[in-house]
Amino acid sequence: MMRGLLGLLLLCMPALGPGYELVPDVVPFTLEDLRQLRSDYTDIEGRGPKQKECGLVYIVSVPFGDVATHQDAVSGVMDEIMTNVELGRALWNPHASEGVCAEGPPGAVLFVDPEIWSALPSESSDRLLSTFSWIVVLPPVARFHNFVPARKQKINFGDAAIKFKRVVAYTDMPYFNHTFILDSDATPCYPGWNQLFKQRLDEGGDLLQRMAPTRHGASKGNFKFPAPPGHEEDHEWFKYPERNSGHILFGQSDVAHSVFDQWALSFARQINEVSPDNKTYVFGDQVAYREALFLNRNDVMEVLVNTLCRHRPKEIIPESQRCDIWHEHDASMCVARAQKFLEDFEAPSPFSLRN
């Protein structure tokens, strides 16, 4: 009921505030569109742990173009994600999340582009099916270009439509009671990292996450644009900082679902929006996540932690700092730490970890 009322309110909101306009000939995105898009995602059952309580979710949707000519890059991303899942299971400590996740190491779901899935060699797809509880094949990116104007199909960090279908995936995550969404370069990195599941529940949070390294980094410092409709001159909006969208832990609450629905609706609007100077455009989906949280700020309970280690470029994280999740493509320090932890606990390494 709460989600239905929220959807009705969202559909009744004005599309844009004064000084902003939609790109001509773009059809506004609605909650009904969102539901229809999400229904086009295809689940494939894997052979990974089928536990319902706690799980990890990774999404691989990248603008490789001709996947066949970028096979090494595709394989590299897949190896990275499988390492992340297996390392997370190896570093799992059942006592760290006592009272939650009692079924043991987490299940895992992989969302993947159809072009990537169909191009994988049989040994890679077999290993993925062995690692993951479910593989979810995303619709082709062209399915999303109906909502993304041609001039906006390329944005900072890749293709806007590719980012968009990732956010749409977040609006329906029925696989686990407690779900940890992670970017492909986010690695469980500390024994007992699963204490984060318990911490979110103990502190009564709908979402467990961390602040972004810079307050408005994804919008390149532009804290005003794009603004939620009706908040173009709202100083509370100007001061509201971004959260990092690459590692979000949540439960099946109405508030969490409302945030993710709003995230997709806001991103769809933002990528079709032009600023008054006709020069400023949205750079990525984290800007829309900021808006979704802002619009739900009076309802959502956040648990903000600093053990999700996402640092500024060239910043060195001291070895003494605990990193439950290491969010960086160069995970060499994380892997070295994890390898040492596994040796100290005489635990088996999942396999030859990343070089």
Nearest alpha-carbon partner for 339 in 350, 330, 325, 328? 350
Q: List, edge to edge, every strand of the sheet that includes 207-209.
A: 42-45, 134-137, 107-112, 54-60, 178-182, 247-251, 207-209, 302-304
270/282 Cα distance (integer angstroms): 6
β-strand pairing of 134-137 with 107-112: parallel
Domain 54-62+105-146+155-322 has CATH 3.40.50: no
pTM for the structure as a whole: 0.86
77/96 Cα distance (integer angstroms): 29
Residue 353, pLDDT > 50, answer: no
Largest CA distance in the chain: 62
Q: What is the pLDDT of residues 299-325, one digit of tens each?
A: 999 999 999 988 665 667 777 788 999
Once rounded to an integer, what is the mean pLDDT over residues 281-293? Answer: 87
Q: pLDDT confidence of 128, banded at 50, 70, 90?
A: very high
Burial letters 159-195, b for 16+ CB under 10 A, else e: bbbbbbbbbbbbbebebbebbbbbbbbbbbbbbbbbb
More confident residue, 140 or 152: 140
The number of beta carbons lying within 10 Å of the beta carbon of residue 131 is 23
Q: What is the pLDDT of residues 78-94, one digit of tens each?
A: 888 998 999 899 899 98
Domain boundaries, the chain: 54-62+105-146+155-322
Give the pLDDT of residue 134: 96
- Do residues 193 and 225 lie in contact, with contact meaning Cβ atoms separated by under 8 Å? no
Residue 252, pLDDT > 70, answer: yes
Once rounded to an integer, what is the mean pLDDT over residues 186-197? Answer: 93
Residue 112, pLDDT > 70, answer: yes
Give the pLDDT of residue 266: 93
